[in-house]
């Protein structure tokens, strides 16, 4: 893969976010990109994206940023409702 990016998310809800989006890793969104997601021991969520070109990189990043954002928002809403 020609392009790569790594993003680290620090959140008190990192484990919940990780568990929420983990099933999405089983679905191949594109043959031109690879996505990795890990939960570090210190509670940080690490997103790694590798892609063949800028278009597939942008597409993968948009998809995963949105998935993580939605998981964060749902986690916050459920915590506030309790």
In Å, how far from its chain's centre is CA 64? Answer: 4
Is the pTM of the predicted complex or chain greater than 0.85? yes
Q: Report how far residue 14's alpha carbon sits from residue 58's, in angstroms, rounded to the nearest whole number.
A: 23
pLDDT digit string, tens, across residues 65-74 = 999 999 999 9
The CA-atom distances, in angstroms, between 5 and each of 64, 69, 73, 81 are 12, 18, 24, 35
Token pair of 61, please?
């990043």
pLDDT digit string, tens, across residues 13-66 = 999 999 999 999 887 777 899 999 999 999 999 999 999 999 999 999 999 999
């Amino acid at each position: 893969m020609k392009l790569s990016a790594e993003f680290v998310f620090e959140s008190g809800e990192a484990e919940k976010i990780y568990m929420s989006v983990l099933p999405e890793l089983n679905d191949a969104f594109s043959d031109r990109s690879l996505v990795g997601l890990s939960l570090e021991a210190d509670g940080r969520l690490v997103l790694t994206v590798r892609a063949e070109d800028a278009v597939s990189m942008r597409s993968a990043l948009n998809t995963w940023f949105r998935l993580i954002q939605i998981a964060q928002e749902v986690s916050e809403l459920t915590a506030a409702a309790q």
